[in-house]
Every structure is written in structure tokens, then in C-alpha cells.
Structure 1
Amino acid sequence: MDMATGEFAARASAAPAADAPLAIEARGLVKRFDGQLAVDGIDISVPEGAIYGILGPNGAGKTTTLRMLLGIIDPDEGTRRVLGADNPQDVARRIGYLPEERGLYPSMKSYEAIAFMGALRGLPLDEGRARGKDLLDGHGLGHAVDKQIRQLSKGMAQTVQLLGTLVHRPKLVVFDEPFSGLDAINQGRLEQLIRGLADDGTTVIFSTHVIAHAERLCEGIAIIAGGKVPYAGSVEEARDRIPAQVRLETRNAEGPWRAALPADTRRVGDFWYFPLPESGIEPLLKALMDGEAGIQSLSIERAGLHDAFVAIAGEAAARDMVADNTGEPA
């Protein structure tokens, strides 16, 4: 995905206000295929202008959930409301969707492919052609405007499909595993683009099995495991489910200060690790100093989203996520 940053420069996206209207609200979504339960009672709420991540291993139900939200398939049970409409198809022209299964007509020229995708969302072809050329030029692909898709590199073709998803200027953009197959540089560029969309007021939802992207980008997440959502809420609240950890290094190995350490303290090499006490760090610091611990270093480390995912979804789901990332068996 050979994307220059263009107009989507990296900026810190402001989180939507707590009372922001909802772009998506889903309650009790259930879907079965051939009698097998694929999605089991999912609830999701996404404020307008948010960047929202749906996390889970392959096969957890992420794609099925997105397709129900978009009206591509209907739920067997439950309700969904998208951009104020009970039927997502009524607002399809205001939505951009990049599926995990990518595909373009190989004989189409780049700008025509973008225009064609816009036309599927109601954008007049002539306007789509003009916007397509501008988008390609703005993303470093001006030289590829008249090239056929079959003449492009894989990364360039991915960029064309992404621009086709955005050409009609949707208010809601849904990406299904958008980072798959991208190298580190183009993953970073896509993150910049997502931030830029949110800065412009567009709601962005993406599914992923790479937790780092969600941790860097998202205000809110839904964790899906086995077709259920054990957690939906803010990234910060998910991380706060695990107490912050204190890492302590002392000059003295023994002394009265040892009595101040919590009972679940563990020692690894030269460091002591334990959860941050509910009373805070100040009383502990005083006890350590009074007990002549000889503090060499002390840091408080918040739990990462990966640790929160393990605590919420379980070790098995976390192993599946790792396997999805590496391509190796869990």
C-alpha cells in the first residue's frame, strides 16, 4: 500500500464527547449458519467520530458481526441501528466498506476502478473519475492513474481499493482486517489515514487480530471470542481491569523494609514486582525509606491492552491471536 500521507497527516484524534450520538448501536445480535451458532448475543455501541476496534482471533465472529452491522446479512435475532437507520441498506451510500477479501477488475485503469467503487455508492462516474485522479495523486500514485490494475504492485492495488472505499466521502468507514498483508511502513501510513478520517468527523470501525493497532488507535473496543463479546467499552477501562504493576530495585537485599512489600510480591533478578497498592505509592515509599531499602529505581507500569485481552478473553483466545499473527499453530 504505497500511500503518502497526503491530506491525512498524523494527528492525535480527539475522543468523541461522552454524549455524542451513536453511529452504530447493536443489541443482542445472533447469527447461525447451518444450525451452528456463529455470533451469540452481541451488543456494540459506537459514537459518531470514534475509532472503534473489534478484536478477536480468526473465526471468532468478527466478519459476521461487521456484515450484520452493514446489512450484508441479517441477524437471526437482535436489532441494529446504523447512522440513524434501522435498515443499514437505507444509508449504504453514506458507508464505506473494505472487506477482508480484496478484489478489483484487473483490466480497469486505477482511476476507473476508484470511480466504479464510488458509483456503487451513488457517486456519479464523472465525479468519481475526477476524485479518483486527485486521490491517486495525493497519495503518491499520480504516475499510476492510467495503469491497469494488473500492472500495479500488490501494495499499489491495495491502495487503489482503499481509495475506492473512501471516494464517495462516507460518514462511516468499516475495514475488515485492513492491516493484513501490509509491511510495517504501510501499516503506519494506514494508521495515519485512519486518524485523519476521525479528525474529519468520520466514524471508523475496523476488525483486527493485531492488538497493537487497536491500542494505538482506538477509543473503544469490543473483544469477541467464541461468538460472544465478554467486553465492550473503552481501551482505558479494559486496561484498568488489571492493577498497575510496581517495579522496584533496591540497594539492600534485606532489612525491615521487606515487611512493607505486599504478600504477592515476586522477585525477578534484581527487581521486585507487585501490584500497585490501593492506598497508592506514597505510603509504600515512606515505609521503604524508613526501612532503609536504599531505593535504586521505582516505576509504575500500567497493564497493556494485550494483558487486558488475556484477562478478559482467556489464554486460549490470546494464543489463537498469536497464531493468527505468526501463521504458526497455537
Structure 2
Amino acid sequence: MNILEISHLSKAFENHVALKDINLSIPKGSIFGLLGPNGAGKTTLIRIINQIIDANEGEIFFRNEKLHPKHIPFIGYLPEERGLYKKMKVWDQLIFFARLKGMSLDEAKSKVNFWLDKLAIQTWKEKKIEDLSKGMAQKIQFIATVIHEPELLILDEPFSGFDPVNAELIKNEILELREKGITIVLSTHRMESIELLCDQIAMIHRSELILSGGLLEVKRKFRNKIYKVILEPRGELDVPKEWKSITIGNQIILEVPLQQKSPNMLLNEMIALGEVQGFSEIIPTMEEIFIQQIKSHSYE
């Protein structure tokens, strides 16, 4: 089941086309990566889903119903431009946001205490936001976004401002929320986060959808059938010019194109050359795919 269906969505601002005929399905309970360079249209799409702005054309369906203001309580949004009240204390801030999202005062207090304990930040509750570091404020913003456990959670650059330890902490919290059945849309330029977290991805460039699908499916689509071979050769090895090679001690690390062979045929050829210590297909990273796709679509 898809929690969100986006059909033929378009948006223009005067003479600027921000989105053009976008079609997307976001499966319930997934982590969905929304990719694209700055200015691609990602933020416009997110704002339309959050009903901050309207589309010019197309429709969005939430849980098989046409998107409506009644769905707002079921959607959480962490914007890239954070929005905390700098003069308010952490406790007051979180209670305020929890109450805005429909919680009773008792429920709000319970949830705020739960999250402050969970992220080990109870000692911050009486601090003003303006007295916090950027990373500390980011944690408060994250709590404010997820405190009501929305069915759909949209996170725009959620790791911005975090050191590696706290980025790992938030990553684990995101995975835990997914385990609870919450669907997460993750918009980020950090390709390593996409690799670690996402089940599905979509890439927008120059207002158009240029790529979408399951993460593994997309990576397999762009593989170039080159194998990495770690070899201890028997004697002198004449490396063909189309192979990349690095010699480290007694080993040679090769990048060998499969060409018309099967992987087993290539492995047998390598075994004939020496002791094979490693043999694996080189699958492109999301960063490599991202750069390649943006470049190829920039010159069309």
C-alpha cells in the first residue's frame, strides 16, 4: 500500500517552472529518499505535500484520499530552515509544539519527558534555545517534529549541524520510527545517508523527475559489469590496458570488465593467473549515480 500518490503534479511561479508533471508513489512504512541538486524543485514538492502552497496542476492522494487539510495532523515536517523560538526554554518550546499537534497537556508532558530522557538531554529543559549550540537546537527541532508520531514524516536535511556521534544517534532514531510503521521522506545531499537508510529513491532535476525506484534496483540498473579482483599472480602478469590495476606487496588489485563473459568464466580466468583473494562486482555508489545523472541531464 502507498501512503502517498502524486499524480501529474506541476507548479510554476510567474515565469519559473518549479515542478513539471511529477508522478511518484511512496510506499507505506518505507524510507523514501528525495534527491536532487539545489533548486531542483524538492522543497516546492515538500511544501505542496505539507499544504503550505498549492500546485497548479495534478493531484496528491494521502491514504487513498485526496490530500486535504484534515490530513495535516498525520504529517510531520522538519524544514531545512529550522524554526524555533529563541527566547523560549526547551521544555516550554516542546510542550507548545506538542499541544499545537493536538496532545493534551498530560500527554505532552509525558512525551516531552520521554524524548528528553531518550536523547539524554533532560539537563537542557530549562535552557533557552538561544543558549544552545546548533547541534543541541537540532535535537530539539527533531523532537518537536516527531513527538506526535505522525504517519508520514518529512525530514529536510535532518543531519545538518550534527557531529558524527549525534548524526548516528538521529539515524538510529529514524530507523526506529520506521520500525513503528512511520513512513519517512528523507531529503538530503548526504548520499551516504541515502545508502544506509533508504528503501526507495526519486531524483528531481530542473523540475522534472529523472529517476525513481528501489535503491537496489536503481544501483543495479547503473552497474557497468566491472569486477574487482584481488590476485596473487603466479610470476609476471601482463595486465591488459583496459584493466585498472594497483600492486600492493605480493597482491594486484584489478578492475576487470566482464565483457561477453559470465562471472564464473571470468573467475576461472583469474584462477588460472594465480591465487584469487577476492572477487566481487563493483556496484556504483549513489553519489556516483547522482553525479552521472545530473551531468547527463544537464546537457540535454
TM more than 0.5: yes
Q: Does 1:199 align with 2:179?
A: yes
TM score, norm. by length of structure 1: 0.80
Which among 179, 198, 209 is matched to residue 218 of structure 1?
Answer: 198
What is the match of residue 250 of structure 2? none
Q: 1:164-203, aligned counterparts within 5 Å?
A: 164-203=144-183
Matched residues in 2 for 1:288 and 1:144: separation? 60
The 1:314–1:251 alpha-carbon spacing in structure 2 relative to 1, beyond 3 Å, is farther
Structure 2: 5+ residue stretches without partners: 248-252
Q: 1:221-260, aligned counterparts within 5 Å?
A: 221-241=201-221, 242-248=223-229, 249=231, 250-253=233-236
Contact 1:119 1:125 in 2 (8 A): yes
What is the match of residue 24 of structure 1? 4
Quote how far apart the aligned CAs of 1:226 are.
1.4
Q: Does 1:121 align with 2:101?
A: yes
Quote how far apart the aligned CAs of 1:231 are.
0.7
The 1:152–1:82 alpha-carbon spacing in structure 2 relative to 1, beyond 3 Å, is same
What is the match of residue 308 of structure 1? 289
Quote how far apart the aligned CAs of 1:23 are.
1.0
What is the match of residue 266 of structure 1? 243
Structure 1: 5+ residue stretches without partners: 1-20, 318-330
Contact 1:114 1:164 in 2 (8 A): yes
What is the match of residue 285 of structure 1? 267
Q: What is the percent sequence identity of the aligned residues?
A: 32
- Range with bigger deviation, 274-283 or 111-120: 274-283
* RMSD (Å) for aligned C-alpha atoms: 2.3
What is the match of residue 134 of structure 1? 114
Matched residues in 2 for 1:274 and 1:141: separation? 51
Which among 271, 275, 282 is matched to residue 257 of structure 2?
Answer: 275
- Range with bigger deviation, 24-33 or 146-155: 146-155
Matched residues in 1 for 2:96 and 2:227: separation? 55
The 1:64–1:35 alpha-carbon spacing in structure 2 relative to 1, beyond 3 Å, is same
Contact 1:112 1:129 in 2 (8 A): no
Superposed CA offset, 1:232-258 (max 9, x none): 111101110223421234445557xx8
Quote how far apart the aligned CAs of 1:184 are.
1.4
Contact 1:27 1:80 in 2 (8 A): yes
TM score, norm. by length of structure 2: 0.87
Quote how far apart the aligned CAs of 1:61 are.
1.2
Matched residues in 2 for 1:224 and 1:44: separation? 11
Quote how far apart the aligned CAs of 1:299 are.
2.2
Instruction: Look up the equivalent residue of 1:30 and give its one-letter code.
Output: S
The 1:184–1:278 alpha-carbon spacing in structure 2 relative to 1, beyond 3 Å, is farther
Quote how far apart the aligned CAs of 1:222 are.
0.5
Quote how far apart the aligned CAs of 1:315 are.
6.1
Quote how far apart the aligned CAs of 1:57 are.
1.6
Contact 2:134 2:161 in 1 (8 A): no
Quote how far apart the aligned CAs of 1:210 are.
1.2
Quote how far apart the aligned CAs of 1:225 are.
1.4
Q: Does 1:109 align with 2:89?
A: yes
Quote how far apart the aligned CAs of 1:212 are.
0.8
- Count of paired positions: 289
Contact 1:55 1:221 in 2 (8 A): yes
More strand by share: 2
Quote how far apart the aligned CAs of 1:186 are.
1.4
Matched residues in 2 for 1:84 and 1:118: separation? 27
Matched residues in 1 for 2:258 and 2:97: separation? 52
Contact 1:107 1:148 in 2 (8 A): yes
Quote how far apart the aligned CAs of 1:278 are.
6.0
Instruction: Look up the equivalent residue of 2:204 and give its one-letter code.
Output: I
Matched residues in 1 for 2:96 and 2:208: separation? 36
